[in-house]
Structures are given as structure tokens and as C-alpha cells.
Amino acid sequence: MADRASETADRDEEAVTRFTERFAAELAEAGMQRMAARVFAALLASDDASMTSAELAERLRVSPAAISGAVRYLGQVSMVSRERDPGSRRDRYRLHNELWYETFTRRDQVLVRWERTLREGVAGLGPDTPAGARVAETVAFFEFLQKELTSLIDRWREHRETLDL
């Protein structure tokens, strides 16, 4: 675990706050719950990608209850995991190591479920009806997206190895 005192000493806290709030606003604009977006952005901006509820509440200047709902949501969508703070009864919330990969992999699983339901919809609507044809095109789009997403993730892993991060 990184030394939190050195983390804050080496940073412009005002710039960190601006980044956190700006990125959270972008995520909320894209459809994420506002407080969950703020918690996620705060974790992303943390060097060790983990914080306790108390640390998050202090960083974001909100109540612990607001943090509780946000981390519950982020856990449900597999963007953070909960672990026990060593030697303490406090929970620590951590971003996954391969955060974006994990997020998009979960989306891939959602696409498979949607495809299944959409296929049933085509059968029920009738493939020769305008609605059935529209739903069939949606199935084809999700199939294409899933195939491309798998390929894209593989290419990302290869590219990531070339990065000097």
C-alpha cells in the first residue's frame, strides 16, 4: 500500500479535485449515477486505486451514506471490489487491476444476454414483420459488436505490452 502522506505531498490537491469532478461529470453525462461516478473518479485518481469509505467521504466532502450507495452500485457493476483493511474492521474499496478490460468484458456478457432475448423477440414478432426485421438487425449488430470487442481487447493487451507506463 502506498504511503498516503507522500501521495498527497506530491500532488496539487486542487488539480486532483478538478480532475475528479470533471471526469465524474463526464461519466454522469454518459449515464453513470452521479455519486458513483465521483467515487469511481476519486479511486482512479488515487495512487493505490483504493480508499476506505471515510477517505472517500473526506475527499469528496459528502456523507458516508452517500459513499455507501455509490460503492454498492460500483460493486454490482463490477467496477470496484471490497476488501478488508488489514488490521482493521474497515472496508477498503479497490479498482480492479485491469479496470477497463474487466468493464468491457462484463459488457460483453450483457451483450450475450441481450442477443438471446432479442432472438426470442424476432421469433415472437415474426422475422418478416417490420418490427421483427428491426430486432433481427439489432441482433446482427450485437453479434458484430461482440466479435469486434473480443478482437479489440486482444489487440489492446498486445499494445499494452509495448507501453512504457
Domain limits, the chain? 4-95, 99-162
Q: What is the pTM of this model?
A: 0.70
Q: Which of 81, 74, 64, 80 is nearest to 34 (CA)?
A: 74
Per-residue pLDDT of the chain (165 residues; tens, 9 = 90+): 444 444 456 778 899 999 999 999 999 999 999 999 999 999 999 988 899 999 999 999 999 899 999 999 998 888 898 888 778 888 899 987 666 666 666 666 777 888 899 999 999 999 999 999 999 999 999 889 888 888 888 898 899 899 987
DSSP single-letter state for residue 62: -
Strand 91-95 relative to strand 50-52, pairing: antiparallel
C-alpha to C-alpha distance for 78 and 14, rounded to whole angstroms: 29
With residue 9 as reference, give the H or E element that holds it: helix 4-9
Q: In what order do the strands lie in the sheet with 91-95?
A: 50-52, 91-95, 80-84
**How would CATH label the architecture of 4-95?**
Orthogonal Bundle (1.10)
